[in-house]
Amino acid sequence: MYKFTPKKPIRSFRDLEVYQKMLECSVIFSTNIKPELIKLNYDLLEGMTNCALSIPLFIAESHGMRFSDFKMAVATLEKAMQSSNKMIVYLEQVKGIYGDKLPLDLIDDISHRYLDTRGKMLRLEKSWQKFQKSDEELAKIKKL
């Protein structure tokens, strides 16, 4: 039997699971993969580093603007999802080029984290859209 435990209330972007997971991936990348890629003189390291950090930044931005500019908030959350896909591509390229010099299990693990959390971001977006529609319906009722 499943035990029901209510989720913690979301008071800031820092409470979002997708933010926490993507920040965790960024830290894992920066501490475990990036130093090895520096030693290997990986050409696209700067882009990969920027991409890893941009995902939690986009999540934080989108959460902050979801009430003031909903369309922009959704677009920014979609940028986070696109950057997650981009990070997976970077990781797969690194794995293909330096597979014998890097911890492949770590690269596979972090790739799966990006993919799983990308799906959670999509569900978060759908949730925001559902609440946005209900707020719009309430506003219409109040006008009547």
Domains observed in the chain: 16-143 (1.20.1440.60)
Q: What is the pLDDT of residues 80-105, one digit of tens each?
A: 999 999 999 999 999 999 999 999 99
Which residue from 131, 126, 134, 125 is spatially nearest to 59, judged by alpha carbons?
125
Joined together, the tokens standing for residue 41 give 């003189």
The DSSP line for the chain is -PPP-PPPP--SGGG-HHHHHHHHHHHHIIIIIHHHHHHTT-TTHHHHHHHHHHHHHHHHHHHHHTTT-HHHHHHHHHHHHHHHHHHHHHHHHHHHHHTTTS-HHHHHHHHHHHHHHHHHHHHHHHHHHHHHHHHHHHHHHHH-
Which residue from 10, 17, 15, 11 is spatially nearest to 118, judged by alpha carbons?
17
Q: If pLDDT is split at 50, 70 and 90, which confidence band does 75 have?
A: very high
What is the structure's pLDDT at 131? Answer: 73
Percent of the chain with pLDDT over 90: 73
Instruction: Please determine, for residue 138, whether its predicted confidence score (pLDDT) is greater than 60.
Output: no
Which residue from 11, 16, 121 is spatially nearest to 77, judged by alpha carbons?
121
